[in-house]
Structure 1
Amino acid sequence: MSDAAVPTERYRQGLATRRAVLGDRHVDRAQSATTDFDQPFQELITEAAWGNLWSRPAWTKRERSIVTIALLAALGHDEEVAMHVRATANTGASREDIGEALLHVAIYAGVPAANRAIKIAKQVFEQMDAEQAA
């Protein structure tokens, strides 16, 4: 939030949910890179995506994670796919869950989209495994 603005309850909830899903390191990095230009966008996604959608009780974070990865893969948003695959360490979505979601992507959004997302997921898993082994 801008210094002059008082955070709303939805923003506070969104920030807590965003941290729970993406991790403090990611959120701190995003916040430190925020400028006056993208501050309104950061507030929007924190309130709308994280404070509203991801905070709804009907689905678990695991379920939202699986659906989000499938949608991002179908749309070809590679950086976001990688970010959300990494976030599965916090959401409880398993590698099997991601694999199943990407099979759906192959049928409903196309083999090339799934193939690209599978490559990205494999790279992220390798990085996560290396970090865990270190």
Structure 2
Amino acid sequence: MSEQRSERFEQGMKTRRSVLGDAHVDRAEKMKTAFDEPFQTLITESAWGHVWSRPGLTKRERSLITIALLAALGHHDEVAMHTRATANTGATPDDLMEVMLHVAIYAGVPAANHNIKIIKDVLEKMHHQATQPEEGK
């Protein structure tokens, strides 16, 4: 299934893992099939290897921009995924609320309202997981 990987792919995979975490990427890679491998290669090279790997913005800034765009476009599963990634990007809950205020003004109150619910739920689950004793995991 896997052919020789480009330098852009290798950089993309490194960046993807640093943002989303090894566990998430490992699960996604395990679920990859011959059918969706070309798409996975495309996003790894382009989104992660090119855009997310550029030096012009920090991972925190890219994280906030990404969440705002996904929220505005109604991509709720991706908002949840990128909210979980804030544990790796340095974006804070306060940052996320500021982003949702922008979404409310520029993309509409219903979009912000729905995504605030998603973000609250994800942050609550992240907090719960972080405060559980190791043996309970």
2:104 to 103, 106, 111: 106
* SS of corresponding position for 1:7: coil
User: Is 1:21 paired with 2:19?
Assistant: yes
1:128 to 103, 126, 129: 126
Q: CA separation in 2, counterparts of 1:91 and 1:125?
A: 14
Aligned match of 1:95: 93
Task: State the 4+ residue runs in structure 1 displaced beyond 3 angstroms.
Answer: none
Aligned match of 2:70: 72
The 5-angstrom pairing of residues 26-45 of structure 1 reads 26-45=24-43
Q: CA deviation at 1:123?
A: 0.2
Instruction: For 2:15, give the aligned amino acid.
Output: T
Q: CA deviation at 1:43?
A: 0.1
Q: CA separation in 2, counterparts of 1:91 and 1:51?
A: 16
Give TM-score, length-normalised by structure 1.
0.97
Q: CA separation in 1, counterparts of 2:55 and 2:93?
A: 23
Identity %: 64
Q: CA deviation at 1:79?
A: 0.2
Cα root mean square deviation, aligned? 0.5
